[in-house]
Each structure stands twice: as C-alpha cells, then as structure tokens.
Amino acid sequence: MTRIYPQFVVAKFGGTSVADFDAMNRSATIVLADDHVRLVVLSASAGVTNLLVELSEGLESCDRMDKIDTLRTIQYNIISRLQRPSVISKEIDHLLENIAHLAEIAYSTPCSSLSDELVSHGELMSSLLFTEVLRERGAEAQWFDARKVIRTNSDYGCAEPIVSQVAEQAEIHLRPRIEQAIAITQGFIGSDDAGHTTTLGRGGSDYTASLLGEALQAARVDIWTDVAGIYTTDPRIVNQAQRIDHISFSEASDMAAFGAKVLHPATLLPAMRKNIPVFVGSSKNTAAGGTLVRRETENPPRYRAIAVRRKQTLLRLHSLHEQPAYAFFAEMFAILANHEVAVDLLTTSENSVALALDSTGSTSGEDHTLTTSLLTALSSHCRVEIETGLALVTLIGNQLHQETGVCRDAFSGLADHAVRMICHGASDNHLSVLLPGESADSAVIELHRRLFE
C-alpha cells in the first residue's frame, strides 16, 4: 500500500552498528521502533572498508587471499545467523568474487576509479544483509542502489555531490520507494557522469544520510553510532568528556570540520540548508539519549568543544629574493592555486609563509597534495621546509574574538607543548594550534581539564 510520509526520518547506522548479526539486530530494532523511519543509510561493517582500501592499494596474491578470507568470514558470520541464509549467500558470493577480481587488477594496474569501485563493495554487502535482517523481522524492506541518486563529480576518493542532481534523482527513484517500503541504501558511495562508482571520502555515510534527507525534505536525520552523542571532546581521549545535549549547526559543523570523527566534515551542510535537525545517538544504548543538532541553541557557551585532526602537514616557504611581501605572496598563492592545493590554515611574516595542509578524508589513504611538480615549482621561487606528522588541535566556542582571557585559557593549557603554528582571528568561533602529532592527546586532555572539567 502506498502512503505519503511527510514527516519521515532518515536513519544512518555506522560500521559498529552493523558490525555483526547482533549489531544489525539491534539496529533493526531501532528502525522498527519508529514508524517514521522510511530510509536507512548504512556503512560497511566495521573493519571492512579498511580491508578494501588495502586491497585497492595493490597486494600480492597471498596477502590478497588473506584479506578476502577475512572479508568472507565477516559476511558469513552474519549470513549463518539468518533463518534463510541461501536467499542472500549467492549475492554476497558474487560480490566477494568481484572483490577478488578487482583486487587482482588493482595489483597490476592500480587506478583511483577502480579503487572506488572496489571499496564500494563494503556498503553493498552490509546493505544487502541488513535488508534481509529486516525482512526476517517482518518488515517490508527494499534494497536500493544509492548510486542511482548520489550523483557526484569524478574526484575519486573524495567526490563532491552535485546537489541539484541528487534532489532530482531522489525524487524520481527514491521517493516512490519510501512510500511503499523501508528503503535500505548505502552510505559513502555515488556515481559520476560516466556511470563510474565514486566515494565521498572516509566516514562519508553520514554525509549521504544528510544529502538524502535534504533531497527528500526529511523531518530529521538520525546518526546511530558507537557513542551516545556529541561530546565536549573525543571520549576515547578524555574519559571526563561531557555529552552535549543540544548544539547548533554551526558549532557542530566546526567540530566536524576540525576533526571530530563522530560526523563526516560535510554532514551538516545539507541539514543547515534545509533546517533539518540531526540527532546523534548510540545504537548500543538508545536509553542513553544523545545530541540534537539544530539551527539555534539557548545560551551558547564561550567554550563548546575541543577537536583534533591528525596527519597534518606544515609547509613553510621562505622567499629567496629581495622582493616586496605582496609580490612573494602573490607568486606563492598562484603556484598553490595552479596545483589545486587547498590551504587549510596560514600565517605569514615579512618574507615567509607557513601553511597547514590537511590530507585526511580521502578514501585513498595516500597524500596526493605534495606532488613533485608542486615542490619543483615552489623550490624555484623559495626555500621549502616540510614537516609531517603534526596534529591540529582546535578550541571551538562562540564569539571568541570578542572575549577577553581566551588566549590565557588556551595557552596556559598548552604551556608544555611545542606549538608549531597558531591560528586565531579569521573566524569568530575557533582557535587552532598545530602541534607534534605525538603530543596531541596530552594537549587535548590538559585543555579539556582546564576549560571543561
């Protein structure tokens, strides 16, 4: 029977929420408990994407076999708990064969579009299995291929969705599904104009959920993960981190952009555009509640959270010639623009410029930013110094530029650290420091102790 669902909810389940049969069953209970959930977006089962990324980087035959065996074990541990395993095992076997075939090509002729095709199999498998779990629980569930709707550019590994096309395709292909059944689809994957599979960067399933919520005007997007909401910092680093019950889009978006892994950096952009609240909770412990992200919150605090982003690179460029600073900066930024380098943060002095570059996020784990051609072009104009393995620690708050005492609070917490770069002022709401990677956790712990405990 077709019903119209004006108030429908998109529910996204991350890797640990679909890690095995018991996790899938818990997630199915969440879906079935709320009639409004009509669209389910899934990540690959925990660990699967990492295995697929390794395969896509090109492994020798016996290493390939090992990884594929591990993948098969993860899938079959779920299949063996189903009441009717044969319904689904053929399809999973077919996808595992595909993986083996693509992994062989990746070893001889690696390429980024092939990587995305290979890596997409994690979400394809988890969504097929979850559809069957829901059906066995009596639900009318339909599997849906997200690539029909999530149209992107061809930046394999970190593709950009084309929002207008997503909206158009979702209306044509997905709306009729959610009116008939609970649609189960894949996060993270999309397709480009040529019909090739693309991926939205690591952790991209959150982004898929909010893109589809935007496209179909959902009433809410629920992100079910392994923590009961968004905390004042990563609770894995700081035991005393506190759950934030309500947070604004812009605060949570800053947290995500500066490395709070609980949300993919772009997740809140579609939600903000259409003013769709986003709930974050734990699929293991729904009773614990969670965080509601919405347009405004009451009494936004001076300090909201601390985020950390690892694997950062510092590039320091020193002018070789006697020339005015404006000419030197213009030259440097022209080179960076020609090489499409996205500068994350920067500071300058009279004849030097320091740039922080972020290489996290892409599905292909490699850093393609500092290419030989970029370094050759820069070296002909300046002396180049590169420092890798740094971490960016960011204090996120409200109107920090107008408050007194912010620097005292922040820097007293960093007194024992070798700070490599400080950025404050361009934004009203955050202050970032670049530190050696190995000291990031202790800096976060100390800052959190002083500012939040």
Beta carbons of 9 and 38 less than 8 angstroms apart: yes
**CA distance from start to end of the chain:** 53
Subset of 363-422 contacting ligand ADP (CB under 6 A): none
Instruction: Say which entry of ligand ASP, Mg ion, ligand ADP, none residue 187 contacts (CB below 5 to 8 A, set by partner kind).
Output: ligand ASP
What are the structure tokens assigned to 258, written together? Answer: 């500066």
Site string for ligand ASP, 47-66 (x = CB under 6 A): --x-----------------
Q: Contacting ligand ADP (CB under 6 A), which of 234, 331, 344, 446?
A: 234
If the CB atoms of residues 43 and 115 are measured against ligand ADP, the closer one turns out to be 43
Q: 84: buried, middle or exposed (CB in 10 Å: 19+, 13-18, 0-12)?
A: exposed
Instruction: Say which entry of ligand ASP, ligand ADP, Mg ion, none residue 361 contacts (CB below 5 to 8 A, set by partner kind).
Output: none
Q: Contacting ligand ASP (CB under 6 A), which of 157, 161, 187, 290?
A: 187
Shortest distance, CB of residue 12 to Mg ion, whole angstroms?
9
Residues 6+ apart with CB under 8 A from 98: 121
Q: Considering only CA atoms, which of 116, 104, 98, 103 is closest in space to residue 194?
A: 116
Beta carbons of 301 and 279 less than 8 angstroms apart: no
Q: CA dihedral in degrees (212, 213, 215, 218; nearest 10)?
A: 140
Subset of 116-135 contacting ligand ASP (CB under 6 A): 122
Instruction: Say which entry of Mg ion, ligand ADP, ligand ASP, none residue 49 contacts (CB below 5 to 8 A, set by partner kind).
Output: ligand ASP
Q: Considering only CA atoms, which of 182, 418, 396, 203 is closest in space to residue 300?
A: 396
Site string for ligand ADP, 238-277 (x = CB under 6 A): -----------------x----xxx---------------
Establish if 43 lies at the interface with ligand ADP (CB under 6 A). yes
Span interacting with ligand ADP, options 32-40, 97-105, 222-230, 371-379, rule CB under 6 A? 222-230
Shortest distance, CB of residue 439 to ligand ASP, whole angstroms?
27
What are the structure tokens assigned to 324, written together? Answer: 């005015």
Q: Catalogue the E-assigned strands of 214-351.
A: 220-225, 246-248, 278-282, 290-294, 303-319, 343-349
Helix (H) or strand (E) holding 96: helix 86-108
Beta carbons of 360 and 311 less than 8 angstroms apart: yes
Shortest distance, CB of residue 117 to ligand ASP, whole angstroms?
14
Q: How far apart are CA 209 and CA 293, in angstroms?
A: 14
Q: Contacting Mg ion (CB under 5 A), which of 157, 187, 201, 203?
A: 203
Span interacting with ligand ASP, options 142-150, 168-176, 198-206, 303-311, rule CB under 6 A? 198-206
Establish if 161 lies at the interface with ligand ASP (CB under 6 A). no
Count the residues of the shown chain that bind ligand ASP, applying the rule CB under 6 A: 12
Establish if 207 lies at the interface with ligand ADP (CB under 6 A). no
Establish if 203 lies at the interface with ligand ASP (CB under 6 A). yes
Establish if 226 lies at the interface with ligand ADP (CB under 6 A). yes
Q: Contacting ligand ADP (CB under 6 A), which of 227, 252, 268, 414?
A: 227
Q: Which letter does DSSP use for residue 188 in this model?
A: S
Shortest distance, CB of residue 340 to Mg ion, whole angstroms?
26
User: 37-42 and 9-13: which strand pairing?
Assistant: parallel
Q: How far apart are CA 432 and CA 397, in angstroms?
A: 11
Establish if 49 lies at the interface with ligand ADP (CB under 6 A). no
Q: How far apart are CA 216 and CA 340, in angstroms?
A: 33
Establish if 14 lies at the interface with ligand ADP (CB under 6 A). yes
Shortest distance, CB of residue 176 to ligand ASP, whole angstroms?
26
Q: Considering only CA atoms, which of 198, 260, 177, 192 is closest in space to residue 223?
A: 260
Subset of 205-264 contacting ligand ASP (CB under 6 A): 205
Beta carbons of 445 and 238 less than 8 angstroms apart: yes
Helix (H) or strand (E) holding 183: strand 182-186
If the CB atoms of residues 15 and 265 are measured against ligand ASP, the closer one turns out to be 15
Other Cβ atoms within 10 Å of 391 Cβ, number:
22
Q: Considering only CA atoms, which of 31, 337, 360 is closest in space to residue 181?
A: 31
Establish if 265 lies at the interface with ligand ASP (CB under 6 A). no
Establish if 361 lies at the interface with ligand ASP (CB under 6 A). no
Establish if 27 lies at the interface with ligand ASP (CB under 6 A). no
**Closest residue to ligand ADP in the complex (CB):** 14
Binding site residues, ligand ASP, CB under 6 A: 14-15, 43-44, 49, 122, 187-188, 202-205
Binding site residues, ligand ADP, CB under 6 A: 14-17, 43, 203, 225-227, 230-231, 233-236, 255, 260-262, 305
